[in-house]
Structures are given as C-alpha cells and as structure tokens.
Amino acid sequence: MRRVVCPGSFDPVTNGHLDIIGRTSRLYDEVVVAVLINVEKKSLFTVDERIATLEEVTREYGNVRVEKFYGLLVDFCKQQGIPTIVKGLRAVSDFDYELQMAQLNYRMSGVETLFMSTNPEYSFLSSSRLKEIARYGGDVSGLVPDLVHRMLVERLRG
C-alpha cells in the first residue's frame, strides 16, 4: 500500500490545500492529512475543529485520513509507517524553505519529500492572509470550502 502524509496547520484549510490533497489522493492508496499541534502559535481554530473540518471537506476522496501530531513530522511518519511527505509549493520562496526541511527530514530519518506545484488558481492563497481578509470584512468565498467560509464569518465577525 502506497501511503503519504500531507502536513500542515490548516488554520483554516483553503481550496489550495484541498487541491494538493485531492491530487495526491489520486496518486496514493492512502493520504494522511497531518494537522500540526503548535502550542507556540495562536490559532483561530482549535486542533479538534480543524480535524473535524478536514474530515468533512475531504470525505469525498475516500482514501484520506486526518490525524493530529505534535513534535517532529518525521517521528509521526515513522510511527505511522509512512515513507513520504507531499508538500505543495506556491512560489520560489516556498521552495527555499521546504527544500531545507526536506533535506533535514531525509538526513534524520530517510523520509522522502515530494513537491507538488500548486494550481495557479490558488498560488496566492495562505491561511494567514485569508484570516486577515476575513477579519476586515473581505470576501473569501471561493477561496475556502463553504463550511470554512461560514466558520470564518462566525468566528471573526460574530
């Protein structure tokens, strides 16, 4: 069985994230979406909210499982028996950072990292930018799943 992990904080999940997850799900038998628990970062949504949201918006794929993890991603990969990480790249700036992480991860554990270029339609998306736009009343519909849009409006605009 070919298994892969798609990691991230997903605070919140965007259509760009879903594009990478969906395309990856067509290439692998099982995709584990790994939601990072980062106690140092103030998140808009709790880990449990992010997991529930991801489970709902990835349900159609059938071979996607959502898990949370804390600590090193390569330790999570070893515990789960997953040999490969897939990361979406939006721009060259993403590549600079992700290449270093991929090389470190491989050196530490032998876990491979594959890069998937983001669909140009989503190349400008980031969760933090979307939260900022929504916080100031901007329209982010079409950039996030409808469920996430409703959650953002409720959380940020009350």
Per-residue pLDDT 10s for the chain (158 aa) are 999 999 999 999 999 999 999 999 999 999 999 999 987 888 999 999 999 999 999 999 999 999 999 999 999 999 999 999 999 999 888 899 999 999 999 999 999 999 999 999 998 889 999 999 998 989 999 999 999 999 999 998 76
Is 44 annotated to bind a ligand? Reply is no
Number of Cβ atoms within 10 Å of the Cβ of 151: 18
Is 36 annotated to bind a ligand? Reply is no
* Residue 107 burial (C-beta neighbours within 10 Å; 0-12, 13-18, 19+): exposed
Is 9 annotated to bind a ligand? Reply is yes
User: Are residues 3 and 30 in contact, defined by beta-carbon separation less than 8 angstroms?
Assistant: yes
Residues with a known catalytic role: 17, 41, 90, 127
73-80 helix and 92-109 helix, angle to the nearest 10 degrees: 60
137: Cα separation from own chain's centroid: 24
